[in-house]
Amino acid sequence: MAHHIEGSRNSCALHGALQVIGAIEGAVPVIHSTAGCGMQHHLGITRLNAGNDTFGGPSVSSSNISQKHIVFGGGSRLREQLKNTVKIIQGELYVIVTGCSTEMVGDDIPAMTKEGREQDFPVIYANTPGFRGDVHQGYQLTIKALIEQLPKLGKVAEPVSDSIVNIWGIVPQQDPFWFGNLEEIGRLLETVGLKPNLLFGNGQGLAAWQQVPEAVLNLVVSVWGETPAQLLEERYGTPALVLDALPVGRASGRMLQAVTERLHLDTRRAERVIQDEENRLTNHLAALADTYYRSGFQREFALVGESAQVAGFSEFLAGTLGMIPRLLIMTDNPPDHARETLYSYVTSFVEGYGTELFFSEDHGEITDRLRSSSAELVLGSALEKEVAFEMGVPFLELSFPLVERVVLNRCTVGYRGAITLLEDVGSALLAASGHRIQEA
């Protein structure tokens, strides 16, 4: 039965597209839709999470179509907008992204793109109307467009001798820690002698994207990375390694082992790296031990976020830190096959805890479930702050949207991310402990 969704955190496909393009250096989005689409993205996402993108935020290029373009078609308006954008914003790549209105009307975007290319504009397009789905669909649709259309621009990638690994499944901004997370996964891959292709963030431009077909492996860290990996397997025969969750703490070691095995790398080197990283993590855990027992870290927690985050964070918090997962809510609407995988993955480390796992993007339902849970700590998005306050329990912003944290290159995956989680969760617990320094 149809039901209403209150306060969804998954925005729309066009926004996902803008987040993908915004995270690629030198890529310039050109929105072909009504004026509200770009603004909505700025108000709902960019302003919260990313400040002003280089070419995004309120200054994003948009055809801002009006009624006459709906009635007579918006092709000529798009042509004009593309020409003007190329004049005003210097970029390596222009990506036309469409909204609902122009897709309903059926504007011939491929023809306009081809026309742009005939004038030597490096332009591609992605059909990303909001009715195609949410931010995750936008991520997939745009990546598909990039993979399929970049070869048409005719530039050939620089030959590479390194073993490149593309990383898929982290949606820029929808994962507020995307930048740091990609860097940490990249850092770990480098330790075993691979060249990570982060694709988004610092220094990740057209050249990185042109190297995508050269990769020896596609590493998938959430269900949303499966489509790009499948497409690349079909087109270029690149194998994929699919993780069930974001690798946090010891799961990062398993990731390195799996990659090493798959690519027949030096096993001893990988084990040395893992040992070093684990020692480092263990030292931090040991340093925390006193506070851990004194402040009662071992609490029942509720965690609300994207499926890969929830699975990854909860494994670390429960498995390594010994906290008790009470309620886990995955908000990104993973497809059915992924739900089964996630369910059995989570079951493997929550067995015996009586943990409840739900899939929901409805703020109302999430709030109700939190309220009726016995959680003593709420980890989630800014949307969960109020109910945590009502429940009188400590709260930490960990998933989109964040409103009270500045996140630049902080990460929540890998070994470093595990240490960050220790710091952040620990700080949230201590801040709420009412501890005061005695006056002399």
Binding site for another protein (CB under 8 A): 67-75, 104-106, 108
Nearer to another protein, 111 or 403 (CB): 111
User: Counting beta carbons within 10 angstroms of the beta carbon of residue 356, is it exposed (0 to 12), middle (13 to 18) or buried (19 or more)?
Assistant: middle
Residue whose CB is less far from another protein, 48 or 70:
70
Minimum distance between the CB of residue 126 and another protein, rounded to whole angstroms? 21
Q: How far is the CB of 107 from another protein (least distance, A)?
A: 8
Residue type, 231: L
Please give the Cα distance from 124 to 305 (Å, whole number): 32
Cα 207 from Cα 212, distance rounded (Å): 9
The burial class, CB within 10 Å (0-12 / 13-18 / 19+), for 295 is: middle
Pick the closest to residue 64 from 41, 92, 40, 31 (CA basis).
31
Between 63 and 166, CB nearer to another protein: 63
Q: Given the complex with another protein, which of 106 and 392 has the nearer CB atom?
A: 106
Shortest separation between residue 71's beta carbon and another protein, angstroms = 4
Minimum gap (Å) between residue 37 Cβ and another protein: 17
Minimum gap (Å) between residue 69 Cβ and another protein = 8
Structure tokens at 242: 């699919």
User: Tokens 């005939």, residue?
Assistant: 118
Query: Which of helix, strand or coil describes residue 29?
Result: strand
Q: Shortest approach of another protein to residue 5 CB, angstroms? A: 24
CB closer to another protein out of 111 and 160 = 111
Distances (CA, A) of 281 to 118, 278, 413, 416, 439: 55, 5, 13, 8, 35
Nearer to another protein, 44 or 73 (CB): 73
Nearest distance, CB of residue 77 and another protein, angstroms: 11
How far is it, in rounded angstroms, from Cα 93 to Cα 54?
14
- What DSSP assignment string belongs to 100-139? HHHHHHT--HHHHHHHHHHTT--EEEE---GGG-SHHHHH
For another protein, the closer of residues 65 and 143 by Cβ is 65
